[in-house]
Structure 1
Amino acid sequence: MTIIPEYMDVSANLNMKKGQLPFFIGISKIPWSTHLHHHDFVEFSLVTKGSGTETVNGKTHHLRPGVASFLLPHHMHEIHSAPEHAVHKYCCMFDINILFGSSYDSDWCGLLYEIGSQFPSYAEFTADDTLWIEDIFAKLMTESTKPPQPGRSSMIRAMLTEALLLFIRTVSRNRQTGDFAREPEMKQPFWPILQYLHVHYTDKLSLESVAEHFSVSSPYISRIFKHYTGKSFLNYLHQLRIDSAVNLLISTSMPIIDIAVETGFESFRTFSRVFQNLKEVTPREYRNRHGISDQKEAQS
């Protein structure tokens, strides 16, 4: 049976407004399971109650109190709660760009992009560290829901950074002690390839270059993409890039031609054509519908 990952439009679902920090935190209860899905926001969560399993890009781990997960944009995931033990968790959703802003961040922010490949997507905290990180999530929840205070965005960024540093240090220790063993690249024929595409979709990619990277043939890549996703390799790649472009169009005043480059298109003409095919409007029309005028874009 073919399972097609569902795209979740976080910006639309959370009704985020222009100028609002692209950050959301809430408490989720999962009585049964979630569908396999992906989105263009980072998801950072901490289990507080219940048990079950989470599968990220084809790799499954157990969920229990004290387990945190970090998912990069477009990492595919699903959760299954154990019978009568619904998973409860704090769940943060945010644009990864809110973390960057200083060259001094590069020593650890770069490590975030290795989660899911060089590092596992989850960490199991000690009892003491669980209390520490759970306190941070609770404070994030309070800060984001109470009436805005001076420096609210900076406070959220500071607390989020602290929690992520705890996560990175924990997964780094686990890898050093051998708790995380990387699977052979082709042990699962499809998921490693799909994960690679979700991480590198803004790079210069082609069917041939991906096939060469995994030491398989181009027809093999083409065949399994159609089988597992119901789309061709190129159509799937275009969808990833346009989903990312949509988020940039409605959450920033970045010039549209720069968005085309940022999301991996080699020419504006191709970007515009693909965008219109998928969204049935031009990028500029899409942006204007969401309240960002051409004048604001020109001033950016």
Structure 2
Amino acid sequence: MTNLKLHIDYPHDIPIDAFQWTPETTLEPFHTHTSLEIGCCISGSGVFYFEQKCYTVRPGDIFIVNQTELHIAQSDEVDPSTFIFINFDPSILLLEDEKLLLPYSYQSEKFQNHIPAETSLACQLQPRIMTIHEELSQQDVGYLSRARSILIDISVLLLRNYIGSISSEQWRRMNHSYRELRQMLEFVHRHFGSNIQLADVAQTVGWSQARTSRLFREYTGKSLRDYLAQLRLSEVKKRLVTTDDLIANICFDCGFQSMASFYRAFHANTGTSPKEYREMNGLSEDFEKLGDANEKSK
């Protein structure tokens, strides 16, 4: 069985994406990836393979995919299947509540990846998956906040569904590990403005640097260095469009060590300079006029 490890890049400031996909009618190589996934079949038929397991696919069926289990879907030749998939970084759930990751920490041979269309759970999940896809496609005001909140809602429903199949010992062990991972991520999010290193992150949870590096990459899909760069750039972009702070102050407040490295990273990420980004994405004239009107009415 061929194993392809796919790296996932997210086009948004939070690590979540949605896409429509029609599997090939011939069996492609099995793969894993750095993201978690939730998929919903919206039309057609076929099969979905998870290592030694094989599920028939029908419209409305939901499939849960973690980072370690080899999988691939295959369409029926006459009636090809089409899916909407949500893929996302585990750090979204870790930072919210580490228990939300438990449904994705299954033992492959015992886990039912398939939630049949006729079940109550599938009926609850399908419209939520479709809404996330719509939000990320249309990118209306607040779309990332809404997509994130719906993802958390989906994960709560999954936790309630699967919790009965998790033994008390599994619960204790996984919950302890996720609590440490959450502690590690919270440290990174609190201190990204300073020059933190892998040794600092490892010290917060009492792990070796090697273990910290391995688990950080496993659960975020990125090295600590790349994760920090993304986090810092997200904060920079937020401050550019919501404040009139000097660009140099924003650069150093967000953890960049030099203006040259900051400008290179920002241009590689956005294709523009910070000044151009601020001019294109700052508060619109309508908001400024509204603010002026409010001031005059006081």
Deviation (angstroms), 1:57: 3.1
Runs of at least 5 residues in structure 1 that lack an aligned partner in the other structure: 177-198, 204-248, 276-281
Letter of the structure 2 residue corresponding to residue 110 of structure 1: L
Are the equivalent residues in 1 in contact too, given 2:135–2:144 (CA < 8 A)? no
Aligned counterpart in structure 1 of residue 70 of structure 2, from 69, 76, 85: 76
Match of 2:267 in 1: none
Distance 2:51 2:128 in 1: 27
- Structure 1: distance between partners of 2:153 and 2:232: 34
1:35 is displaced (CA, Å) by: 2.3
Structure 1 equivalent of residue 14 of structure 2 = 21
Distance 1:258 1:295 in 2: 21
1:100 to 83, 88, 94: 94
| Aligned residue number for residue 198 of structure 2 | 257
1:63 to 50, 57, 60: 57
2:132 is aligned, of 129, 133, 140, to 140
Alignment partner of 1:149 is 2:141: yes
Instruction: Describe the shift of the 1:297–1:55 C-alpha distance in structure 2 as closer, same or farther (beyond 3 A).
Output: farther
- Residues 259 and 43 of structure 1, relative CA distance in 2, 3 Å threshold: farther
Change in CA separation of 1:157 and 1:116 when aligned onto 2, cut-off 3 Å: farther
Aligned positions of 1:203-222 closer than 5 A: none
Deviation at 1:297, TM superposition (A): 4.9
Alignment of 1:263-274 (within 5 A): 266-267=208-209
Q: Is 1:125 aligned to 2:123, yes or no?
A: no
- The two structures, once aligned, show a CA RMSD in angstroms of 4.5
Which structure features the higher share of helix residues?
2
What number of residue pairs does the alignment pair up?
Answer: 208
> 5+ unaligned residues in a row in structure 2: which ranges?
167-173, 179-187, 218-222, 234-250, 258-298
- Identity %, equivalent residues: 14
- 1:121 is matched by which residue type in structure 2? N
Q: CA separation in 2, counterparts of 1:77 and 1:39? A: 10
Match of 2:95, SS state, is coil
**Are positions 1:158 and 2:152 aligned together?**
no
SS in 2 for 1:75: coil
* In structure 2, C-alpha distance between the alignment counterparts of 1:7 and 1:98, rounded to whole Å: 21
Question: With structure 1 as the length reference, what TM-score do the two structures score?
Answer: 0.54
Deviation, 1:34, is 3.5
Q: Is the 8 A contact 1:48 1:90 kept in 2?
A: yes
Q: 1: CA distance between counterparts of 2:227 and 2:95?
A: 28
Residue type at the aligned position of 1:24? D
In 2: Cα distance, 1:270 partner to 1:168 partner: 26
- In structure 1, give the amino acid aligned to 2:128: I
- State the alpha-carbon separation in 1 of the partners of residues 160 and 226 from structure 2: 44
Q: Residues 180-224 of structure 1, C-alpha deviation per residue, up to 9 Å, x if partnerless?
A: xxxxxxxxxxxxxxxxxxx9xx99xxxxxxxxxxxxxxxxxxxxx
* Aligned 8 A contact 1:123 1:167 in 2: no
TM-score by length of 2: 0.54
In structure 1, what residue type is equivalent to 2:148? R
